[in-house]
Structure 1
Amino acid sequence: MSSNSAQRWTYADPSWARIAELLPTVIISAEAGDEVANEILHESVLELADSVKAVVQRLGLCGEDGNDHFPLVMVGGVLEANRRWDIGKEVINCISKVYPGTRPIRPKVEPAIGAALLAWNCLMRELQGDSDT
């Protein structure tokens, strides 16, 4: 694929899902020793970790000294373990170097179900609080 056709493919539909579908191919190439594929994976880890660190800092999740504990929910296919290249683990390692209070969580249910359970728990606490008065 020429550079020009690769650019056309990339920008024809720039959805993350479409780009993320390339991950297994990039991982296989990296494991086979392809330097470009390894560089893509390393850069992806750094970019994702930088994005998370910016959110953590902006929201003050790490506390004033940067050492407070906070949950880091790991969801999405890109963050799942893939053979030797575990992008999620690498992202956690990068974030933990700066914020040692990072507590990664890998949910056992889909994010929408988790959100519904969280809302249900909040509602039940409110209702219990109303009945106590």
Structure 2
Amino acid sequence: MWWTYADPSWARIAALVPVVVSCAEAGDEVANKILLDSVQELALSVKAVVKRLGLCGEEGKNSFPLVMVGGVLEANKSWDIGKEVIKYISKEFPGAVSIRPKVEPAVGAALLAWNTYMNER
């Protein structure tokens, strides 16, 4: 427990994901529970943002992109955390469309800015 509180940065905690996934794949029940709880917590956070921004429309049925980025959301052998998160979100928001970008987020942001700039000219 001291290890966690000594440096609670997201990167340090996220670095444990491959270890937890490996344990879950080996049948460890505690590791599976950690992953399931993490998926549910992440999905709850995403749902809150979707509602707050009104991405889903008034009835929750509108289509909207959900960009899935980050090493934690990448698929492993038997655990695809990103897929599990989408599954939870889609129950409440069937219009969520999962997008896995082909470029890094910073490159995507630069391309979006460039396209916006060019369209305004």
TM-score (norm 1): 0.90
Which residue among 64, 67, 77 is the counterpart of 2:71?
77
The code of the aligned residue for 1:14 comes to P
Aligned residues, how many?
Answer: 121
Q: Which residue of 2 aligns with 1:42?
A: 36
Equivalent residue of 1:43, what SS?
Answer: helix
Q: Which residue of 2 aligns with 1:109?
A: 103
Equivalent residue of 2:94, what SS?
Answer: coil
Cα-to-partner distance string for 1:74-115 (whole Å, 9 max, x where unaligned): 000000001100000000000001000000100000000000
Percent of aligned positions that are identical: 74
Establish whether residue 99 from structure 1 lines up as the match of residue 89 from structure 2: no
Q: Which residue of 2 aligns with 1:57?
A: 51
Moved >2 Å (runs of 4+): none
Cα-to-partner distance string for 1:15-47 (whole Å, 9 max, x where unaligned): 111011111111111111111100000000000
Structure 1 stretches lacking a partner, 5+ long = 1-6, 128-133
Q: Which residue of 2 aligns with 1:23?
A: 17
TM-score (norm 2): 0.99
RCO comparison, higher one (Cα < 8 Å, 6+): 2
Structure 2 stretches lacking a partner, 5+ long = none
